[in-house]
Structure 1
């Protein structure tokens, strides 16, 4: 994507309050987009946990932190930009169309394995990527009843190397079938996975660089395979070191004491919070 005007994005999920770890990633994303265009996307696919009050809070907290975006939902309730809607819950037709494209091209197969099945399989999930246990290929060659509820997996080529140069972490290489297996792109309830929705939206919104936490490195490898299958340009990637609490655990939305809203209400200034978010990696 050399020569293409820079387009970066923020993609928070409104399932809780933003914390210092989010601030770190989003501040770096905003800085890298300083001479280009920054897009804010509301990744609200998790309909059970996404709440409107968290959408309002993330817009307020990002603006308070001093982050400005050119496209996406705004704090006044409006939406700017020509590539919206900028909420994933309103983009289901795009995900469905891409699912059919992948299915017709032979990349997908149905799978009836539950998460419990996978967690009890000999291959344990990776400690830093527990949302997607390594799939052992149980349903690859099974003839399933068409009426049986099933998710749909993208079939990887075992042994295929996926390499990219991360703008912050340097060269990265992952091997399909070893570092990750066949992965879900459509859940059995018809909800697209993070992998599918992210690829569709980043391509449609013409994102040239994806900035996110280093816990998503394997997701990047999966998404590069999807982008190749769909014939989309592959953006550059920049994975940010995670913030951790006193126990060495990465920050999560349950860490209320580190939420931006808590820090704001405690009297800290945006400048102080920005310093807290970035000082460990300077």
Structure 2
């Protein structure tokens, strides 16, 4: 891409856990076009933190499919750039440093609850959190918050190492969080009711999506994040992380999701609508884009 306005920095951040589909392409194309219209840079980041599901063949297919569809980027894992590495699996030190800052600020705490425990609490009759977004984490009831623990247990947990336990961000209960979305307009959520304490670090010593995404977008100077509407709730969490880490938050533009003929949003299991399958069927990028 030819950059005329270096102050604008957008990004594509696919996760190589399968083949890219038409939904990815449309959202990414909006990001691509917004970067072009602004005369800025478009950065490609390989969000490959999920070691169990990310595969080298999916990374290779991702680069090939994006190039075939017409995407061009200024920085990325294949072309390098001033903010390398552009593979999240190689950026652990950045996340660990952010974890240390959050812990020093008293913004996070260790949590011994299993996902099953959290799901059971969130579905209990006395719980009435707002319905989570697509693919969202269950509403956490605050079981392991330090103020809910006996003094001796609170002291013991304060010295726990980073690995071996989950760590959660303590949201400021009752605070109304807000941002202006570039597509959907003003967005609001009440911390503690619609946004519960969320994971920032996992017991296997890896950062959560929320922390890794925030750290990388800040470090790479991203000025606008374009992504699917299913991540609107994640934006509130990430705004809290930006604020606590003392980093400037980017603008956000969330795109409507692409659905199949039954109204179900596209996922990587929709093999027939993967870019690979569409190309094999003789479809062209121009014809696919014309359908939008």
Pairwise TM-score range, normalised by the shorter structure: over 0.9
SS in 2 for 1:13: coil
**Gap runs ≥5 in structure 2:** none
Match of 1:184 among 195, 199, 204: 199
- Structure 1 segments, 4+ long, off by >2 Å, are 122-131, 141-149
After TM superposition, give the deviation of residue 275 of structure 1 in Å. 2.5
- Deviation track 1:168-209 (CA, whole Å, cap 9, x = no partner) reads 111111111111100000001111000000000000000000
Match of 2:131 among 123, 126, 135: 126
SS in 2 for 1:164: strand
Aligned to 1:140: 145
- Deviation track 1:24-65 (CA, whole Å, cap 9, x = no partner) reads 110000000001000000000000000011111111111111
Distance 1:62 1:90, change over 3 A: same
In structure 2, C-alpha distance between the alignment counterparts of 1:199 and 1:7, rounded to whole Å: 15
How many residue pairs were aligned? 271
After TM superposition, give the deviation of residue 149 of structure 1 in Å. 3.5
1:29 and 2:31 matched: yes
- Deviation track 1:149-179 (CA, whole Å, cap 9, x = no partner) reads 4200000011111111101111111111111
In structure 2, C-alpha distance between the alignment counterparts of 1:229 and 1:252, rounded to whole Å: 33
In structure 2, C-alpha distance between the alignment counterparts of 1:217 and 1:187, rounded to whole Å: 22
In structure 1, C-alpha distance between the alignment counterparts of 2:145 and 2:255, rounded to whole Å: 34
After TM superposition, give the deviation of residue 129 of structure 1 in Å. 3.7
Residues 125 and 132 in structure 1, CA contact (< 8 A), matched pair in contact too: no
In structure 2, C-alpha distance between the alignment counterparts of 1:152 and 1:275, rounded to whole Å: 45
Distance 1:140 1:4, change over 3 A: farther
1:174 and 2:174 matched: no
Match of 1:235 among 226, 229, 250: 250
**Gap runs ≥5 in structure 1:** none
1:225 and 2:230 matched: no
When the two chains are superposed, the root-mean-square deviation of aligned CA atoms in Å is 1.6
Q: TM-score, normalised by structure 2?
A: 0.89
In structure 2, C-alpha distance between the alignment counterparts of 1:4 and 1:268, rounded to whole Å: 34
Distance 1:100 1:225, change over 3 A: same
Q: TM-score, normalised by structure 1?
A: 0.92
